[in-house]
Amino acid sequence: MLLSIETSCDETAVSVICLDSFKAAARDTDTYLKSDLIASQTELHTAYGGVVPELAAREHIANLPSLIAEALQQAGISLEEISAVACTRGPGLKGCLLVGLSFAKALALARGLPLIPVHHIEGHILAGELLPEAERPKYPFLTLVVSGGHTMLVLVESFRSYRVIASTRDDAAGEAFDKGATLFGLPYPGGPALSRAAEGGDSSAFAFPVGVPGDPNSFSFSGLKTAVQRVVIGLGAEAKEEKTVQNLSASLQHSIIEALVKKSNQAVESFSPKSFLLTGGVAANKELRARLKREMEKRGVQFSVPPYRWCTDNAAMIGVVAASIWEKTEQDFKGWNPTPGKELGPSAPIAVGARAKWPIAELFADEC
């Protein structure tokens, strides 16, 4: 039984995975995912219009013990039956990461359990493994990770082989949705509110720039925000009218999606993947899903997107990274050592440090 913990941003999440069931050939989440809990802090941060890192960290401290107790109860096991602990090590908000990781280390040390530190983005990428067999991405696959903190296209050539094809130079796609929503006077969290408003709008009402600079390896959304800001100021009181908000929302959504789709198509053409996985909180956007699905179908590429609860931050995806390593390497995690020369197993879990910034390219080039 593997306990996994995710606290990198504003969701406290805990899951329990039965490793033996995970290993079964025809595995499905109904059998191996024994519990999968998320305590969202959205309400807490609404008053501030964004995540307040210090408050988020304190909330993780308050939530974690009871969430773990609940996860164990739901799984029908006691703490003694846990055989390994996986935890997000980074990237994310430092204070938030520290809460989960310190908890995981303490638990691992006290009970003599292996600790598997997990890269948050690897979690998002392997969230595709939570899908039924037929829908799981097949290697090599491309993945678009789009959330409030990340926007990247990653080529996954084989298990744990990640090549970043493009990432954002400035704002993340979710941030562009959120900032636009704030400018249009829509409620927090902005992305869902903006996409709802966009449903009634005309996406050609305003011509916002498509944030693809000349560099094929970058996304850029900060210029888009400035362009939107200028239009809103120019519109004056009209910018507050319902129809205008709908049109602004539809136009902004259109240009964010265009940028994402254009780079995705370019990458598919360059790397000819078998599958394309859309993941991260922005994957909730219906228009983005529909556009990418159409584009991939046209190109004969399998399109996968996990259910929303596994697109947004969750602990199941963190557990799946650890469980996949265990399955693929046939290790039992005893003395588990993710980087040659560093003991990160039960003998020294304390050596693992949280990494607020942790490029996925440095997954194996470790310093603790």
* Residue 124 beta carbon to Zn ion: minimum distance, rounded to whole angstroms: 6
Residue 123 within binding range of ligand KG4, rule CB under 6 A? no
Residue 191 within binding range of ligand KG4, rule CB under 6 A? yes
Closer residue to ligand KG4 in complex, CB, 175/366: 175
Closer residue to ligand KG4 in complex, CB, 75/278: 278
Question: Could you give the CA distance from residue 259 to residue 288 in angstroms, rounded to a whole number?
Answer: 11
Contact letters (x/-) for ligand KG4, 27-56, by CB under 6 A?
Answer: ------------------------------
Residue 4 within binding range of Zn ion, rule CB under 5 A? no
Closer residue to ligand KG4 in complex, CB, 117/148: 148
| Contact range with Zn ion by CB under 5 A, out of 79-87, 307-315, 334-342, 343-351 | 307-315
3-state SS of 40-79 is: ECHHHHHCCCCCCHHHHHHHHHHHHHHHHHHHHHHHCCCH
For residues 237 and 224, is the Cβ–Cβ distance under 8 A?
no
> 211 to 270, contacts with ligand KG4 by CB under 6 A?
none
Tokens linked to 352:
């693992």
Closer residue to ligand KG4 in complex, CB, 41/107: 41
Tokens linked to 223:
């210029």
Cα radius of gyration (the chain): 21
Among 147, 195, 246, 275, binds Zn ion (CB under 5 A): 147
100 binds, among Zn ion, ligand KG4, none (CB under 5 to 8 A by kind): none
Please name the residue that has the structure tokens 């280390």: 105
Closer residue to ligand KG4 in complex, CB, 117/123: 123
Question: Could you give the CA distance from residue 116 to residue 318 in angstroms, rounded to a whole number?
Answer: 10
Residue 189 within binding range of ligand KG4, rule CB under 6 A? yes
Residue 175 within binding range of Zn ion, rule CB under 5 A? no
DSSP letters of 208-257? PPP---S-TTEE--HHHHHHHHHHHHHHGGGGGSHHHHHHHHHHHHHHHH
Question: Could you give the CA distance from residue 263 to residue 78 in angstroms, rounded to a whole number?
Answer: 47
62 Cβ contact list (under 8 Å, min separation 6) = none
Closer residue to ligand KG4 in complex, CB, 160/179: 179
Residue 306 within binding range of ligand KG4, rule CB under 6 A? no
Closer residue to ligand KG4 in complex, CB, 9/115: 9
222 Cβ contact list (under 8 Å, min separation 6) = 169, 170, 171
Residue 178 within binding range of ligand KG4, rule CB under 6 A? yes
Residue 313 within binding range of ligand KG4, rule CB under 6 A? yes
For residues 225 and 177, is the Cβ–Cβ distance under 8 A?
no
Among 6, 59, 122, 313, binds Zn ion (CB under 5 A): 313
For residues 335 and 346, is the Cβ–Cβ distance under 8 A?
yes
Residue 129 sits at the vertex; the CA angle it makes with 125 and 135, to the nearest 5 degrees, is 105
Peptide bond connecting 91 to the previous residue in cis, omega within 30 degrees of 0: yes
* Residue 6 beta carbon to ligand KG4: minimum distance, rounded to whole angstroms: 10
174 binds, among ligand KG4, Zn ion, none (CB under 5 to 8 A by kind): ligand KG4
Closer residue to ligand KG4 in complex, CB, 48/364: 48
Residue 95 within binding range of ligand KG4, rule CB under 6 A? no
Binding site for ligand KG4 (CB under 6 A): 9, 147-149, 174, 177-178, 189-192, 195, 280-282, 284-285, 312-313
